[in-house]
Chains A and B, each alone.
Chain A
Amino acid sequence: MNRAKRSPEAQQRARALTNGFIILVKSAMVHELNNEAVARSIDQFRDALTDVFRGNDEVVLRFVEEMVYVNGVLVRPDMGLYEMLQSVERVLANLKMREVTISGRLDRRDLREFLKAIKKYMTMTDGHEGFHAQRFDKIHVRDIKESGGQVEMSDQMRALRAYLAALLTLKSLILRIEQNKKVSIAPTKRATRDLTTMVYANEAVMLGMIQMRRYRGRTFNRLVNCAVIAVAMCHRLGVDRVAAAETALGAVLHDLDWTGKRDRKKTVHQLVRIYRGERVGRLRVTIASDVGRVDGLGPSRVIGVASQYEKLTTIGDNKDGPILPDEALRRIEADARFDKIAVKLLVTTLGVYPVGTTVQLDDGCIAIVVELPDDGRSLAEPIVKVVKDAGGGGADGRLEDLSQSGTPDIARTLEPEPLELNVTHFFLA
């Protein structure tokens, strides 16, 4: 891992350059090129460029979906950046300008020529062809898809998008149920299938996703999280993808009591209302009814423990509030209501210190459990990412495989919020 690239300074420079580029294009589209605003934006961009050029031979700006990369550094997006990107998206799309490579210091004339070409070809149909044919001295423009390589979002980004899509789809579903509106399960099924694909492709990252805080404890969020855990359990069990996806659907439909009281009867009633006489509805109702029953259907046994874990770690089971992940597992282990094999599977999947848990190591460092590889290691020895050093200062985000000799042990688990840690971020970075 190139730590220099990940430094806050690199991030700051990349952001300044991105902002500069967007303002440059935007002002050129709004004003004549001899306008003062354009001149200012040119100077601003050149300054930002100078900073980024330090230590680099060339500067590459890439626009992939909503993401911007500067020399491979992901510019962490915020709403401001999104809005700015949106304002030039038409230019980027029409001119197929998804990658801009700058191979030397630019003077004002270089940039004016570049902007002139943008303005000219934006007025033409299929302007991208002429624009790409135009040669600039130190600027080279490509559409990434045409450059031969398929642009793929990073696995982490795909996972995040699948998770968020499932979250919002479920939010919408629960809202419609609450409003007694007609409901179609197809969007939910699609979302859970994407979720399954992602969990099977990158289980650890998806388990990291469930740490997102925004809607924690809300019914729809709990259902999505339960599905992620259930699919991860299926994955660990060696269940085929289709069966895992079906379990995921069972998981997101297992508690449709939008009041949050987890009334099983309300869920059954909602499922009956949704499915009416459809045969598949019987399976969905029975899976939901059997959750928490030791003699329940296979998916129900898995969903039961996943759901309980989710509940304990997000809302808890009494006024004390959420329970730390390892303690939640202990409580589930001690609870005779749950199927023992399913409990074992849950612990095997998440580890004694579940993926996503914030822990303090015995050397005082704070870390996040990011993975428990299925390689026969002890369940108490996951891979962690160190996020704070022993003095409480920022750490370099190094990964520590606790199964290796000479590595620290986990001393205790912690709540991430008082430490201002956004756990999800560490799975995506």
Chain B
Amino acid sequence: MTDATNSGSDADRSRGVEDAPEESQRRNPQLVGKARDVVKCLVLLVKNRALLGLAHPQIRLLERGFATQLQQYFEMVDELDLQLHPLGAQFGRQPILTVERPQHSPFFALLQDGVREVKIGSGVTSDELDAFLEALIVHEESSIEDSAMTALWEVDLRHIELVQTDPFSGDDDDEAGGGGGSSRRNEFKDLLSEALSDSLPDDGEAELQCRSSFALTESELFGPRAAAELKDLVRPERARKRAETHTMSDGELAELKAAVEGCARRGKQAMGLPPDMDRRFVRSVMEAVPANAPPRERSAARDALVPVALEAFSIGDIKTGQRILRKAAKVTGKRGTDGLFPAEMHDDLVWIADVILADETLSAEASREFWAVLPPQVHEAIFERLFESGDLKMFKHVALLGDGPSAKVKSMLVAAVSGEDTKRARTVLPLAADFAKEDLAESLMAAVDGEDQGLGFAALEALTKIDPAKAVQRAGPWLVHEDIARRDMAREILEGAGLHQEVLPHYEAVFDSSAFKTADIAEKRTMYVSVGRAAGRTGLALVREAATRGGMLAGRESHELRAAAILALGLLADTTSRGLIEKASKGWRVPAVVSAACQNALQAIRKSKGSPT
């Protein structure tokens, strides 16, 4: 048997739906075909809506298609009446949808709620269809208290009628029945019969329990004595007066009404909740679950409290988050629970950490404080999980760990650097260089020689921090490499190494090389500057020596080389260099390019006030 339930609207609204087409009409092949088309569109729409989300353009297209099919159907008859069963749907007893498993039916969410018939009337609005479709989507994270029918109850569906099986009179049994469907049905009928009966059932014990000590028997209620007693009892004025004291003012009404409506949860949102509700919640839980409660109770309390703390962290309320966690720790402190942050909570932790980091209104300190509340083993578990899943974005959080990563996390970082995934290696490399330098050198050397030039450069850069001598040794020969990018990289590495003596031979070799002599003026100048930066005073001396011994500034050299040397001396900006430049600028036969270089160099020295740039 069925109970017509017009989900979310009063029963009489359902009467507004047009009459269903006659049985014979519903067997019209054209009509059946159209109904099938509608359902086909519906299947596609529900499936893709769940996968792609509402905003996807494909969904808009599918929605339009579904609406068109429905409209075409309504041009033939006024109502679409579908009978649902676990493995499909029928229209006028003709199967129009067959699925292998109930979960594959687009109506699965409704089937779970005992809906066995769907009627859509021709005046159906897009809002109604939208709510209906939304209810059909089975969300992965099923809510503890919501279902398709509870969601639709809130919606004013005037043109969609859902007919549910009555769990107390049909063959089906629902979850609440706990398997006792038949006995529940009998109990229901029994109760129904009892309610309708004009006499009381004979259940002596229950009656005794219910009976008040104030109970009067018939003999005390009727007869002359009772009538006389009644006269004394009646005090209508008093009752009326009492009634008057309960008149509610508009202000009182409005205040209570607002307080009740404010706590209503519409959809998934509860608006108007008091700001201290979470605090009250924490207090209630803490009062209800003492530290010596059984482990299951404490686990449940932990699961309830920690998300509140994490939410506080996510909005930057670090102090509240820490306070709640301290309280939660009191509950989980005893043995028997798996700590404050069990594995199933780690995804949430990652999410919160990302939220905090992405929030521009929060400082890095907030992130550090968040990570500080998580114990090292949780860090380890989180990073291990992320590493395994290939999601490396969270490694940026390693930098925010107060005491640095654990040995296990460090080994993961090192492994990532020498792994085959060069993209991953490049992402991890800076962190590894900061936090796992002691084990990293060999991996870096291998990466420098690898095929991925970007990774090689990053590895070389990291190597500078870990083992500068090795870095110089690797980079020096690149000063004359045929690839300009490698030459640039080499200069950068040698300049940053801070090993003046070790780098000098590499530059000396450069200046003597034919490659240098054929290089353009810009690179020559850069090389002169670089040697100063990389080898300090010794490097400067090398440049000066090259200039003073008449080599570079001598008239026999090309104008470009002389100009480059002069510009380099200008950038070095020391007193000796200045003297050399001034000297080179004098004379009758100074070429224009050299003269201009001298002016520029002297100007640069003046601007830098004598400090090498």
Contacts and interface: CB of A to CB of B under 8 A. Distances in A.
A171 to B, nearest CB: 8
> Which of B177, B210, B345: most chain A CB closer than 10 A?
B210
Contacts of B191: 164, 167-168, 212, 214
B178 A172 contact: yes
B264 A246 contact: yes
Contact of A190 (B14, B19, B147): B147
Contact of B147 (A186, A268, A278): A186
B289 interface: yes
Interface residues of A, number: 128
Interface in B214-249: 214-218, 221-222, 226-227, 230-231, 233-234, 236, 239-240, 242-244, 246-248
Interface stretch (A30-38, A42-50, A298-306): A298-306
B99 interface: no
Interface string B123-162: 0000000000000000000011111011001100000000
B246 A65 contact: no
B253 interface: yes
Contact of A286 (B190, B230, B277): B277
A40 interface: no
Nearest to A149: B15
B195 A212 contact: yes
A321 interface: yes
Contacts of B261: 239-240, 243, 298
Contacts of B189: 66, 77, 79, 82
B278 interface: yes
A193 B301 CA distance: 28
A381 to B, nearest CB: 8
B303 interface: yes
Given A172-B176, A239-B257, A429 B198 contact: yes
Given A316-B212, A321-B213, A379 B246 contact: yes
Contacts of B95: none
Nearest to A429: B198
Contacts of A322: 210-212
Contacts of A186: 143-147, 150, 175
B168 A164 contact: yes
Contacts of B200: 213, 417, 420-422
Interface residues of B, number: 114
A97 interface: no
B146 A283 contact: no
Interface stretch (A99-107, A134-142, A358-366): A358-366
A286 B281 contact: yes
A238 B253 contact: yes
Interface stretch (B68-76, B265-273, B492-500, B557-565): B265-273
Given A269-B297, A379-B246, A418-B217, A78 B210 contact: no
Contact of A415 (B216, B293, B303): B216
A150 interface: yes
B287 A268 contact: yes
A407 B233 CA distance: 17
Nearest to B150: A189
Interface in A71-91: 74, 76-79, 82
Contacts of A342: 256
A298 B277 contact: no
A175 B187 CA distance: 15
B300 A276 contact: yes
A76 B196 contact: yes
A324 B23 CA distance: 56
B230 A362 contact: yes
Nearest to A412: B233
Given A212-B191, A246-B265, A421-B200, A168 B168 contact: yes
A399 interface: no
Interface string B299-314: 0110110111000000
B262 A175 contact: no
B607 to A, nearest CB: 62
B342 to A, nearest CB: 11
B61 interface: no
Contact of A352 (B145, B197, B239): B239
A364 B1 CA distance: 45
A276 B303 contact: yes
Nearest to B147: A186
A425 B192 CA distance: 10
Contact of A188 (B11, B154, B176, B214): B176
B299 to A, nearest CB: 9
Contact of A76 (B188, B198, B201): B198
Interface in A228-260: 234, 237-240, 242-247, 249-250
B280 A341 contact: no
B174 interface: yes
Given A161-B3, A164-B192, A213-B210, A364 B256 contact: no
Given A360-B230, A420-B200, A286 B284 contact: yes
B246 A344 contact: yes
A301 B199 CA distance: 37
B230 A268 contact: no
A52 interface: no
Given A78-B193, A268-B284, A237 B154 contact: no
A272 interface: yes
Contacts of A428: 195-196
B113 A417 contact: no
Nearest to B236: A409
Interface in B1-49: 1, 3-5, 10-12, 14-15, 19, 23
Given A242-B266, A341-B256, A290 B287 contact: no
A297 B199 contact: no
Interface in B515-551: none
Nearest to B213: A320
A219 interface: no
B288 A237 contact: no
Interface string A264-302: 111011001111111111110111111000000111011
A55 interface: no
Contacts of B147: 186, 189-190
A168 B288 contact: no
A414 B221 contact: yes
A375 interface: no
The 10 A-B residue pairs with the shortest CB-CB distance in the complex, in nearest-first order: A298-B259, A243-B264, A379-B243, A185-B145, A268-B288, A187-B176, A415-B215, A298-B260, A380-B239, A289-B284
Given A201-B10, A213-B207, A265-B287, 6 more contacts: A82-B189, A150-B14, A168-B176, A250-B263, A286-B280, A425-B195
15 contacts: A65-B169, A79-B190, A168-B184, A185-B144, A185-B145, A187-B176, A190-B153, A214-B191, A247-B263, A298-B261, A341-B252, A348-B247, A415-B212, A418-B218, A422-B195
